[in-house]
């Protein structure tokens, strides 16, 4: 995959997806131009492997081309749908890796270093870097227990039950930590939304 030089955007017109659904290749190209940097960065952040992130991105766009008609504007923005699709597929790959015994021992170490890695990616625009930095600062401002629960949920893709088992904590405690942490993140990042920098 070539390094995306196009500007990543947090807003994609739902009409563009309608055109993609009708087989419009130019619309599909525009969709790729507007979202590939963001989705690649997300895939790389989760997988920590450029080749796998590139392969995943190809799979995601193939799925978008084939299944764009399933997109429901009432359930979220096009960018949110693409991010959810990418994140889900990346987490599926992580779980597949974890199922292989030879990689199980290193998976937790990789997840921990990925969650803590706040270094820039060559695929990020300055705006992407600013958003990443703001999110990283907001995350480090959370109490350790809330930060850990959120990282397990969003970086490893664990369910609330799995997090409770891993941390040996009651399910209600885990849910509360995630809810409070997400609320604090929303408040800490509200200025970014007001400026239109985040989704």
Read off the CATH number of the domain in which 139 is found. Answer: 1.10.10.10
Task: Say whether both 19 and 96 belong to one domain.
Answer: yes
Task: Say whether both 83 and 133 belong to one domain.
Answer: no
Q: DSSP of 66-95, one letter per residue?
A: HHGGG--GGG--HHHHHHHHHHHHHHHHHH
Please give the residue range of the domain that contains residue 21.
13-103
**Residue 2 falls inside a structural domain:** no
Share of the chain above pLDDT 70, in %: 74
State residue 134's pLDDT score.
76
Read off the CATH number of the domain in which 87 is found. Answer: 1.10.1740.10
Please give the structure tokens belonging to residue 5.
């030089």
pTM of the model: 0.55
Bigger pLDDT: 36 or 1?
Answer: 36
State residue 105's pLDDT score.
42
The predicted-structure confidence for 85-140, as pLDDT tens digits, reads as follows 998 899 888 888 776 655 444 444 444 444 444 455 555 566 666 766 777 788 88
CA distance 199 to 186: 12
Question: Based on the structure, what is the number of domains in the chain?
Answer: 2
CA distance 10 to 139: 21
């Amino acid at each position: 995959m070539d390094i995306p030089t196009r500007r990543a955007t947090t807003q994609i017109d739902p009409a563009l997806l309608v055109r993609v659904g009708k087989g419009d290749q130019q619309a599909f190209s525009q969709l790729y131009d507007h979202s590939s940097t963001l989705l690649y960065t997300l895939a790389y952040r989760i997988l920590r492997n450029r080749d796998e992130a590139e392969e995943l991105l190809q799979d995601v766009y193939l799925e978008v081309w084939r299944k764009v008609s399933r997109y429901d504007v009432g359930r979220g923005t096009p960018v949110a749908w693409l991010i959810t699709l990418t994140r889900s597929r990346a987490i599926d790959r992580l779980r597949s890796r974890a199922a292989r015994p030879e990689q199980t021992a290193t998976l937790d170490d990789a997840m921990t270093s990925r969650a803590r890695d706040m270094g820039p990616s060559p695929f990020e625009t300055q705006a992407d870097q600013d958003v990443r930095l703001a999110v990283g600062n907001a995350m480090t401002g959370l109490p350790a227990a809330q930060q850990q629960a959120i990282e397990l949920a969003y970086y490893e893709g664990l369910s609330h039950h799995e997090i409770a088992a891993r941390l040996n904590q009651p399910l209600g405690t885990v849910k509360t930590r995630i809810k409070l942490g997400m609320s604090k993140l929303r408040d800490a990042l509200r200025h970014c939304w007001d400026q239109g920098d985040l989704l």
